Amino acid sequence: MRQNNLSVHSENILPIIKKWLYSDKDIFLRELVSNATDALNKLNILREQSQAEAEGKLEISVAIDKSAKTITITDTGIGMTEEEVEKYIAQIAFSGAEEFVAKYQSETEKDPIIGHFGLGFYSAYMVASRVDIATLSYLPDSKPVFWSCDGTSAYSIGAGTHSTRGTQITLHLDDQNLEYLEETKVQELLKRYCTFMPFPITLNEKPLGNKAPLWLKAPNECSEKEYLEFYHQLFPLDPDPLFWVHLNVDYPFHLQGILFFPKIHRRFDSQESAIKLFCNRVFVSDHCKDVLPDYLMILRGAIDSPDIPLNVSRSYLQIDQNVRQLSSHIAKKIADRLANFYKTEKDNYIAAWPEIELFLKLGTLQDEKFYDRIKDLLIWKNSEDLWTTIPEYLERKEDKKIYYTSSDRASPLLQIYKDKKIEILFAPLPIDIAIIQFLEKKLSTTFQRIDGQLDSSLLDPARDKTLLDAEGKSEATRIADFIRASLDQKDLEIEAKSLSSDVLPALLLLDENQRRLRDYIALTQGKHASPFQPKKTFVVNTNSKLIQAILRLQQKHPSAAQQMAQGIYNLSLLGQGEVEPGDLDRAVSGQMQVLEKLADLL
């Protein structure tokens, strides 16, 4: 047995590896099983080229020995000669670890991407105080080799006893990491990282049951049942997904995978990604926050690509050409799938709309290219209870103005528009305001909220109350004065107008620009972050029977009339959801008093 030293710079490296990767030390098993897989793959290739006369099974076994405090990973791959151990383990693998340390040592903040760094063989030292390699190369007349290193720079190498082809790595666990002697723990890790690996894996002689992932199969050979089974294998607690896309790209990068659109209408949370990233069937991570734009993060599934450079820093990922092409390819495939869904199963598409609309809308806002692909798939419910797209709506509308309401309910105001045969779109989601702004710019059109301004189509000029009384005031002015005095709200604009409908006593208009700004702030910074309220205009209908009756009541019972005017205002606020939570009680008790007075009068 010879003694040797790893390298001149090495003294500090192993302690640093231990410290740095402490939180993600589980990955040592992934790294060692991946190395074993590579060794088996290499043997397979040599076999196919008839360069290796390798017999016997190609497999990986993991064994735990509690009394010896070891965990051993054995493969029947190509093995290593003494020169190879020197070269690949002591020099090359070591320089990889050294590079890693040089890169990350100076950074103070722990980057989650750190765990993705392919540290390889040396990650074993995160959990072990000593690692032994016993190996026999596939090459004819090879001799077994034994290498051992206790985590310092010194190692020993010499003749070994491993008599079967392949490599056996034994980790002598240190006292802080004895949890890896628990079979359940190791099994959980193998299931997490190695479920889709290509060679049979056993743990303490029990098969892991790993198998080829569905994404490797040609899409036209996969059945619906297989897709659903695969989905439930990845996400056992989820209901069936809505639809899926099978990705298979060879150029300009390699990518395979299956992405599912989940059925649950989950709160959108960009932190919670459920796309599992694999690299050559080895599970790498379920954080692909940096690889895909936020809106694609709603999807669930798996992508496998050797071309995603996971071992580099986050800022690099964002500018990496492959990564950008990858997201745009995924986005395109999803858009194509949605277009097909809309075209071939419109009713199902509409039924699924509440679950997918947020995705399409976020995609619209975050990725213009995506919007271009799905613009005809953005649908809106209208006041006739039908679904329409904006281009279809505009085709029906001469003035090219789009009327909408941000309420999701029918209202007397909506009814007036309906009576006038004006089509109104429902846009009740908080994100709709951002979509509307986007579409206005994109389509050079205007979205007019029904309670944003008094549309001329609601007025009836023929019944304008313009006749002047003795004081030179029109009836409209008198009504406005009376309401103004009754409400006593200094920031409130009050107008009395002749509306075409007699049913609606009054309506409250909110300044559209200010309201959009307020809603936008609420959308981005939370509901209570808005610093102001939009300017309000209270339009009283001079043709309303109720208003006329209150006006008459004013002569005999001025205070009752005043309270009724306040009641109408409060009800308008309530109807539009504009009552501040703190004012709600006051509005309700005010209403009760009005009813009490009314009951008294009758």
Q: Which residues sit at the interface with ligand ADP, rule CB under 6 A?
A: 31, 35-36, 39, 75, 77-78, 80, 88-89, 92-93, 96, 118, 120-121, 167
Separation of alpha carbons 556 and 547, rounded Å: 15
With contact defined as beta carbons under 8 Å apart, do 245 and 337 qualify?
yes
| Nearest residue (CB) to ligand ADP, 60 versus 565 | 60
Spell out the residues 6+ positions from residue 597 whose beta carbon is closer than 8 angstroms to its own.
557, 560, 563
Smallest distance from ligand ADP to CB 48, Å: 18
Residue 472 has what DSSP assignment?
A: S
Smallest distance from ligand ADP to CB 260, Å: 31
Smallest distance from ligand ADP to CB 103, Å: 15
Smallest distance from ligand ADP to CB 97, Å: 7
Beta strand pairing call for 387-389 and 2-5: unpaired
Smallest distance from ligand ADP to CB 258, Å: 27
With contact defined as beta carbons under 8 Å apart, do 135 and 148 qualify?
no
Smallest distance from ligand ADP to CB 521, Å: 49
| Nearest residue (CB) to ligand ADP, 38 versus 392 | 38
Smallest distance from ligand ADP to CB 80, Å: 5
Beta strand pairing call for 255-261 and 243-249: antiparallel
Whole-angstrom CA distances from 102 to 12, 190, 424 are 11, 30, 62
| Nearest residue (CB) to ligand ADP, 132 versus 475 | 132
| Nearest residue (CB) to ligand ADP, 118 versus 575 | 118
| Nearest residue (CB) to ligand ADP, 138 versus 260 | 138
Separation of alpha carbons 418 and 91, rounded Å: 79
| Nearest residue (CB) to ligand ADP, 39 versus 494 | 39
The single-letter code of the amino acid at 583 is: D
The single-letter code of the amino acid at 524 is: T
Residue 318: in which H helix or E strand, if any? helix 314-319
Smallest distance from ligand ADP to CB 36, Å: 5
Closest CA to 274 of 288, 264, 291: 288
Smallest distance from ligand ADP to CB 12, Å: 18
| Nearest residue (CB) to ligand ADP, 97 versus 547 | 97
Sign of CA dihedral 194, 196, 199, 201: positive
Buried b (16+ CB within 10 A) or exposed e, 270-287: eeebbbbbbbbbbbbbbb
| Nearest residue (CB) to ligand ADP, 131 versus 298 | 131
Supply φ then ψ for residue 539, to 5 degrees.
-100, 120
Separation of alpha carbons 273 and 276, rounded Å: 8
Residue nearest ligand ADP (C-beta atom): 120
| Nearest residue (CB) to ligand ADP, 93 versus 259 | 93
With contact defined as beta carbons under 8 Å apart, do 249 and 224 qualify?
no
